[in-house]
Chains A and B, each alone.
Chain A
Amino acid sequence: DQQVKQNSPSLSVQEGRISILNCDYTNSMFDYFLWYKKYPAEGPTFLISISSIKDKNEDGRFTVFLNKSAKHLSLHIVPSQPGDSAVYFCAATASSNTGKLIFGQGTTLQVKP
């Protein structure tokens, strides 16, 4: 039951360029989406989120875009830095539920100097 999917297990980009991480979902009840960053042996760290009433949210180098009709969201990192190298998880939740997050499988981003 993969309600949230990240189809790219890995992504490699050059320092300074744009990183684009993608996420698809199937459950129409999801109305809030989050991106988490995770380093090995650490817990997920909240990065940025977006409500379904918006189609874009920006925070510094990070921007999340939401396309509700396509049930697709993406995280853009510009410019990418070597310290951004980590696993990025997309997560979704529905206001009607108890707050549980449904995570995608994650995308490992490597930013090369």
Chain B
Amino acid sequence: EPEVTQTPSHQVTQMGQEVILRCVPISNHLYFYWYRQILGQKVEFLVSFYNNEISEKSEIFDDQFSVERPDGSNFTLKIRSTKLEDSAMYFCASNGLGYNEQFFGPGTRLTVL
């Protein structure tokens, strides 16, 4: 069964450093998303991406964040200068045309020290 994959599973970084979180969505899906979950809180929407551009972004998704689909398979989230409060689980999700059900990856745990 196709699945969304994410790498790395755990990333530890120093405050102020850049990180890139990687995702491989399900191959025939067209819509891509990033969400995050701070420990003990709800899953929060960050950004949606379709047709090689951002469709919508939340207030959390400020200028420090960017997304890219550099090739036909990868979907990346970059945080340019990490802050302590960026520590969270980051989930990538995707869905196909005409479907509302999004399929999530296993997540990347980002720890900013």
A residues neighboring B (CB under 8 Å):
32, 34, 36, 41-46, 49, 89, 91, 93, 97-106
Contact between chains at B101 and A34 (CB < 8 Å): yes
- Give chain A residues whose Cβ lies under 8 Å from the Cβ of B101: 34, 46, 49
Chain B interface: which size bin?
20 to 34
Contact between chains at A100 and B100 (CB < 8 Å): no
Contact between chains at A46 and B103 (CB < 8 Å): yes
Contact between chains at B106 and A46 (CB < 8 Å): no
Query: Contact string, B70-100, partner A, CB cutoff 8 A, digits 1/0?
Result: 0000000000000000000001010100001
- Give chain B residues whose Cβ lies under 8 Å from the Cβ of A32: 100
Partner of B100, one of A49, A89, A102: A49
Smallest CB-CB A-B distances: 10 pairs: A43-B104, A98-B55, A98-B56, A103-B43, A98-B48, A100-B45, A32-B100, A105-B42, A44-B104, A43-B106
